[in-house]
Structure 1
């Protein structure tokens, strides 16, 4: 039986002695550090860190650990998060018509590539992918909801979507090729949202980036997974990848190659986030991979 680990993420003003203080805290309570990573942003004078330690012999229970870390970390005048590796995480997928990212994430969660994670609901603005999710659901029983969205009903549909996220107790929303722009109201209510954009941002934002890339004659295309924010395709970047293309490639070739990159990049980003290896600050991220 695998022992659970505690994971501490912290970002705060950089001062001397933080690493020693955090490491000593774990040691003093009979903890065994299994992964430690730190970064200093010298321009912003910020310290960013991740500590993971085994709870097998740790002297504090989880509730007391939370209180003890508050005493330790609050004086650093930053923000910190405590997570546990055995805490189940519930994912919702928003989809439209394309299935490649949806099917990849269904596969990853079913075969535990993403540990302690479960897709609990799929919400779409089209019926087309319902049969594929229901076929997968014979194993996992994933419900599929269709909420057709128009300019006239957008506010009501988003309210219905948020109600479903609450009903299914969702921790993370993944936009798996959901070809709609979420409103500021939605994102302020549910900010823990990851999007996949089919270009190597900041190039070719918005619609039809492969057409833009083909018209520009680029030699590489890519995909970007990022946290969704009010500004379109401008949220903190989690993961990116590129693939080479040439003058011989048509738009369809770019789309085909791009889909391969998109599913890989989105899968990596979701996994990194759920493993608590992504720390945001401002509009940037540190990824402790």
Structure 2
């Protein structure tokens, strides 16, 4: 019997030009690929072309296709990545003392709803070590002060590397990453901000929203950059607010929104549906 074909996901971006879809589909055909799903976008403001292709190939390995792409891409000035669609993305989760997003991610992961593999939880508090243990996930308590920040982040990065993590999720981690760590995690760290950015930045957006009497509150998942709460936005959602709401009411409603927004962002990232486009993202849903 012939072996079952392997499914791959190719994502790419390059300067736009005529014939790119033809060129990519021709490349896949020449390398034994059968396209199962394809999406593309031409950003006319930047002149960049973005594409995501899911394809199967019966007689090709990941390394062989990567070698072929390394020859195909340079003439087109193409940035690309290729993934085995069956591989779950190794993930490390950061959390502080708000556990709703962590709990939601753990449940979705164990339920098979997210194509990730949570390999460690890192926290500057001990609050969720029992939750981590209930899912059999290693829990690392790394306290942090201004004086110990550099050493603490060095230890965090050691864990990320040891676990071979390809994704870091800040699930209400209430510490600001240093410029150095932000750069090391560029494009593979997702934060959930408990507000509809760019409004109400900082640590207490629900207090700001209540003070302003807003009629909608929201949550924003974005990639981490050195600029606080300024990274490329992946997903946002809102919930209705009423004049009778207290801060506690807004906070409780907002937590549900945060969990859902973060889960969608993690899912799309781990399915390789997101391409960074400057300070924005292209999301092939």
Secondary structure of 2:73's aligned partner: helix
2:176 to 141, 166, 181: 181
Aligned residues: 282
| Runs of 4+ residues deviating >4 angstroms | none
Over 3 Å counting, the alpha-carbon distance change for 1:169 and 1:62 in structure 2 is closer
Matched, 1:98 2:98: yes
- Describe how 1:61-210 pairs up with structure 2 within 5 A: 61-115=61-115, 117-137=116-136, 142-191=137-186, 192-210=188-206
Secondary structure of 2:87's aligned partner: coil
RMSD: 1.4
Q: Report the Cα distance in structure 1 between the residues aligned to 2:155 and 2:30, rounded to whole angstroms.
A: 49
How far 1:77 moved relative to its partner? 1.1
Matched, 1:220 2:206: no
Q: Report the Cα distance in structure 2 between the residues aligned to 1:195 and 1:53, rounded to whole angstroms.
A: 30
Matched, 1:254 2:250: yes
Q: Report the Cα distance in structure 2 between the residues aligned to 1:283 and 1:23, rounded to whole angstroms.
A: 29
How far 1:2 moved relative to its partner? 7.8
- Describe how 1:269-280 pairs up with structure 2 within 5 A: 269-280=265-276
Secondary structure of 2:242's aligned partner: coil
Q: Report the Cα distance in structure 1 between the residues aligned to 2:33 and 2:11, rounded to whole angstroms.
A: 16
Secondary structure of 1:127's aligned partner: coil
How far 1:190 moved relative to its partner? 2.4
**Aligned residue number for residue 29 of structure 1:** 31
Over 3 Å counting, the alpha-carbon distance change for 1:99 and 1:17 in structure 2 is same
Secondary structure of 1:16's aligned partner: coil
How far 1:103 moved relative to its partner? 0.6
Secondary structure of 1:254's aligned partner: helix
- Report the more deviating stretch, 64-73 or 217-226: 64-73
Secondary structure of 1:173's aligned partner: strand
Report the TM-score, using the length of structure 1 for normalisation: 0.94
Q: Unaligned 5+ residue runs, structure 1? A: none
Q: Report the Cα distance in structure 2 between the residues aligned to 1:39 and 1:14, rounded to whole angstroms.
A: 10
- Report the more deviating stretch, 252-261 or 160-169: 160-169
